[in-house]
Structure 1
């Protein structure tokens, strides 16, 4: 069945609306970064770059590393942007741009987020690497989709109970990484964690400048949460949306995080650029050996 033009929107050159990409522009392995400037920080390690495109905050480079074709794309910040990027990435491989219909044989993408984050646990130090095994989303993105079958309801309910969750906020949802892809990226140098995805950087992450927060103890409550040994380890702004949509769309996704801030220890990385670049190098080495 043909998808209406109002739903599947293309530019005049036949590219997908926001990302400005055509199906041949992306690889099956995709790295996402938040910052558009970080795209080149990743692609400079490629042996060759065949494509550079950009529109708004969405910048894409596609090239080769050790014979493997890889794309790196910036998402911007937040799960609202993740909704755009992941639906359009899926459309690039699973919708026929000529007939405007969903393909009968669906393609699976490997998607690896390389991002920065703040630790909630004192033993997870600045400049450490962390892979998100689980993520809890404090946004409402996944609730707009039929998604209950991928949500971990028991953990969600315990988070609501433990934090005395304010009923006016969106109900938290818990989703999981792709285990097989995670095994390919994990090593003894990487913490395995449970990531909280927030809807903002300041108040939603309990930072106070001039505005009071609704629950000043929220970070402490998150840090003390324990579900059969599963503790919330860090805060960022995209991972839960990435895991939710990837699970629903049938793609494999893993979020790799560089710890730049330790909230309980109240310190910040002395060289965040170098620390993040080391995570990029680590991840690329793992990907090139898939």
Structure 2
């Protein structure tokens, strides 16, 4: 029985609904960025660009770099957008759009997030780069799926206990990065740690402007969290969702962070674009090595 039209929505040209792209438009190696303007900050390094398409915040470009075919996609901000992008990418490679049935042989994509983040420790300086070895999601989005086979249960339990987590906000989930991808991108200059993925930028990351927080001690507890020798190192808004959906769907993912802020010191990069550009170059060299 095929997938219902209301579940897998296609545009008139046969492209998948939100991304507005066809299966032939993407490579097997895909780079995620949040900002649509960052897509061309990456593809300007490409030798060729064969395809460009944008719908809403989702901009896609595919081309070649050092002979390797790559796709860059802007996801927009937040776990909800990751739910759209990863499910539609998976549909492009693993669902037959003619019959609306799942293909017998599953294709695994390689996904690299290149994003910005704020460090939780003064030992992780602004303008450094960091890889998310683990991610803990505080966003609830992934709880819509059956997670028991992909989450790190002990890590979840320790995080909830350590932070005295308010379960009225939902149960956090912990996901490990793909080990093959971690080994590909690690180096002496790359910090590693546990990334906390939040569902928002202000209150969800303990930023105070005019509103009172429900947990005023959150920042004082998460930076002390540690598991298997890894510390909670940074806050952002996509990594845990990328890791969780990738594991569920059979894809390989890693998240690389340009550290543009230090929450402990209250500092922000004087030139965040330079740091992001450095991370882009680093990632492209590792992808094609």
Residues 189-200 of structure 1 mapped to structure 2, 5 A cutoff: 189-200=189-200
Correspondence for 2:186: 186
3-state SS in 2 of match to 1:112: strand
Show structure 2 runs of 5+ residues with no match: none
3-state SS in 2 of match to 1:232: strand
Q: Which runs of 4+ in 1 moved over 6 A?
A: none
Residues 55-74 of structure 1 mapped to structure 2, 5 A cutoff: 55-74=55-74
CA distance in 2, matches of 1:178, 1:67: 25
CA deviation string 1:74-115 (max 9, x = no partner): 000000000000000000000011111100011010000000
Query: What is the TM-score when the length of structure 1 is the normalising length?
Result: 0.98
CA distance in 2, matches of 1:228, 1:283: 26
Q: Verify: 1:23 aligned to 2:23, yes or no.
A: yes
CA distance in 2, matches of 1:95, 1:188: 40
Correspondence for 2:234: 234
CA distance in 1, matches of 2:114, 2:231: 21
CA deviation string 1:211-257 (max 9, x = no partner): 11111110110001123432100000000000000000000000000
Correspondence for 1:217: 217
3-state SS in 1 of match to 2:126: coil
Show structure 1 runs of 5+ residues with no match: none
Aligned residues: 289
Query: What is the TM-score when the length of structure 2 is the normalising length?
Result: 0.99
CA distance in 2, matches of 1:186, 1:229: 16
Correspondence for 1:177: 177
Give me the CA root mean square deviation: 0.8
Residues 248-287 of structure 1 mapped to structure 2, 5 A cutoff: 248-287=248-287
Residues 55-134 of structure 1 mapped to structure 2, 5 A cutoff: 55-134=55-134
CA distance in 1, matches of 2:41, 2:109: 22
CA distance in 1, matches of 2:227, 2:249: 28
CA deviation string 1:247-289 (max 9, x = no partner): 0000000000000101111111110011111100110111121
CA deviation string 1:8-52 (max 9, x = no partner): 110001000000000000000000000011001011000010000
CA distance in 2, matches of 1:285, 1:230: 26
CA distance in 2, matches of 1:103, 1:189: 41
CA distance in 2, matches of 1:93, 1:56: 22
Contact map agreement 2:192 2:230 (CA 8 A) in 1: no
CA deviation string 1:97-148 (max 9, x = no partner): 1111100011010000000000001101101110000000001112111111
CA distance in 2, matches of 1:114, 1:228: 25
